[in-house]
Chain A
Amino acid sequence: MIKALIFLLFKEMEGGCRIMATSNKNRMSVSEMIEQQKKKRKFFNQLERLIPSLLLIIASISVLTTIGIVYTLFAESVAFFRNVPILDFFTGTILKPLSQNPEFGVLPLLNGTIISTVIAMLVAGPIGMMSAIYLSEYAPDNVRRVLKPLLEILAGVPTIVYGFFAFTFVTPLLRMIFPSIEATNILSPGIIMGVMIIPMIASLSEDAMSSVPNSIREGALALGSTKLETTFKVVIPAALSGIIASFVLGISRAIGETMIVAIASGSSKNFTFDITQSMQTMTAYIVEVAGGEAAAGTTIYYSLYAVAFTLFVFTLIMNLLAKYISRKFREEY
């Protein structure tokens, strides 16, 4: 029905053109033609009045998506918490969904998520930040123009490709150096996740630093500061809110990242802090359980939603926090 409406509206435009062309032969004046057209337009004018509502309906799809996500996650999580006490879920250190006496403690997953995120940020934080400093403060224009898009490519590589790379290249490489590392471990995907997040932190931090006006840099340089001092003592403090926001968004991205950890970190649900071992993140758990075609209605099926809900809340908080920081502490130069 919507399509038909759109079709009609588009048809009307073309019709208008054709009438103009044919009526030319009858030597009508333009104003006469416009008058004639007006009558025919009435119907379409009414149709045109519907356009805002039509567009509003389309625009509301994104709102419906949010409602859909929150509703499904919430409703099915409620079903889950009917079977598993909410306290047991959030404080349990044992996760054995497939055993005879299944236990659903989310802490092993939270632990895996946090550890992989920390590893990723240890890579992406300093390297992304230093790249941002180089691009914003040091790089000559022509070098920046080459390096920036190249760095963006890193962000465009599908995560499955990173997962493959972590599993088949980085892990064997790490095992050559540290033989005690397991074939699936949290270290390797953590590092590669960090590499994936570098461009995000680099580009957002660079934006924040570039928006610091040059006059402030000149003020510092004119006092005899080196570029390094200008950067660390003036530019970075001035851009701090944007830089912190970029880190928070990086964390959010790491928490939500799925394929790299699902492939390279295996599915061990141990509650451990040993980064040479396999650990499962919340996202990887969802992949494992959903891919195993858990039958609808079982506790393990509902556990998907409880875990996803936890994940959703975590990333939402991070994203809102990032927005809050960059808005609240934005410098007005």
Chain B
Amino acid sequence: MSTVMEKKINLKLVRNPNENNEPEAEKEVVYDTKGLNLWYGETHALKNINMEIKEKEVTAIIGPSGCGKSTYLKTLNRMVELVPIVKTSGQITYKGKNILDKSFRVEDLRTQVGMVFQKANPFPKSIYENIAYGPKIHGIKNKKILDEIVEKSLRGAFIWDELKDRLNDNAYGLSGGQQQRLCIARCLAVEPNVILMDEPTSALDPKSTLRIEELVQELKKDYAIVIVTHNMQQAARISDKTAFFLNGEIIEYDNTDHIFNNPTDERTGDYISGRFG
């Protein structure tokens, strides 16, 4: 649906100029990846990944299909372990602790790191129960507090006004775009520090896509956001930093402006101008 847009890349179109003026030093590093390698069985899917991810920034990961960008994202909350044959080496420190260490509890990690998936995956429950699920499992039982969390989260995802009168309806009755924003709200309800987004708009129409992009801009005031996307226009529009993955390697990782206007590596330029992928 957005191929037409992708062909013509106009970088300065939506970029917010004052973002670049913020001094880098103030932002804390959330994730620090050092020498990460990952294998699916015999397949070497990620090769020597080194990457810093900072708070209150949107980090976009781009690259052709199968380049390892989703795999890397899922390594950040260890969802990648759901595939039993995965092996890793190297380290990813999250707030100073190596999350790949077996003694690091994945449940703790995933409580602090929210994830939004490619296809909206609400639970087959009511809208209210979808949001309240996270706080409930983490021990919040007070109905009044839950009500407040639900409202706050839905407001945070800019969907409160649309849904406030139908909180007890099944989430499956919502449109695709609404479902995806509900999933973002569900993720906000546990108050994470980081939000990982795996091509969150790839299944959505342009209008819903735009709304999610606006939401991302809003959310980055409080969260570190890592977004994997196929849509380079989107990466250019919403991200501060961009990493270009190819065949399991990081080819280039820099400020988004730099990547899109003046890429250091020839392959980055080729990919961005649509010569492959």
Contacts and interface: CB of A to CB of B under 8 A. Distances in A.
Interface of A: 140-141, 213-216, 218-226, 229, 233-234, 237-238, 331-333
A331 B124 contact: yes
Interface stretch (B42-50, B115-123, B267-275): B115-123
Given A140-B84, A224-B112, 7 more contacts: A215-B117, A215-B119, A218-B117, A219-B186, A220-B133, A224-B107, A225-B107
Nearest to A240: B124
B183 interface: yes
B123 A234 contact: yes
A222 B77 contact: yes
B79 interface: yes
A332 B170 CA distance: 12
A66 to B, nearest CB: 36
Contacts of A233: 133, 136-137
A223 B137 contact: yes
Contacts of B137: 223-225, 229, 233
A229 to B, nearest CB: 5
27 contacts: A140-B84, A141-B84, A215-B117, A215-B119, A215-B121, A218-B121, A219-B117, A219-B122, A219-B186, A221-B82, A222-B110, A222-B114, A222-B117, A222-B187, A223-B111, A223-B137, A223-B186, A223-B187, A223-B190, A224-B107, A224-B111, A224-B134, A224-B137, A224-B190, A229-B137, A237-B124, A238-B123
Nearest to A225: B137
Interface in B189-207: 190
A331 B190 CA distance: 27
A141 B133 CA distance: 29
Nearest to B118: A215
Contact of A219 (B84, B136, B183, B190): B183
Interface residues of B, number: 29
Nearest to B122: A219
A222 B79 contact: yes
Interface string B212-227: 0000000000000000
B102 interface: no
A151 B124 CA distance: 31
A332 B173 CA distance: 11
Interface in B73-108: 77, 79, 82, 84, 107-108
A231 to B, nearest CB: 12
B125 interface: yes
Given A218-B79, A218-B82, A223 B123 contact: no
A216 B124 contact: yes
B40 interface: no
Nearest to A217: B82
A224 to B, nearest CB: 3
B134 A238 contact: no
A237 B125 CA distance: 9
B143 interface: no
Nearest to B109: A224
A244 to B, nearest CB: 15
Interchain residue pairs A-B with the least CB separation, the first 10: A224-B111, A215-B121, A222-B115, A224-B110, A219-B121, A223-B134, A238-B124, A224-B107, A229-B137, A331-B124
A115 to B, nearest CB: 37
B79 A221 contact: yes
A141 B83 CA distance: 11
A196 to B, nearest CB: 33
Nearest to A141: B84
Interface in B125-160: 125, 133-134, 136-138
Contacts of B183: 219
A249 to B, nearest CB: 23
Contact of B123 (A214, A216, A332): A216
A108 B134 CA distance: 51
Contacts of A332: 172
Contacts of A141: 84
Contacts of A219: 117, 121-123, 183, 186
B122 A333 contact: no
B266 to A, nearest CB: 37
Contacts of A215: 117, 119, 121
B121 A216 contact: yes
A72 to B, nearest CB: 45
B203 to A, nearest CB: 11
Interface centre among B77, B109, B134, B136 (most CB of A within 10 A): B134
Contact of A224 (B117, B119, B125, B138): B138
Nearest to A333: B124
B154 to A, nearest CB: 16
Contacts of A225: 107, 137
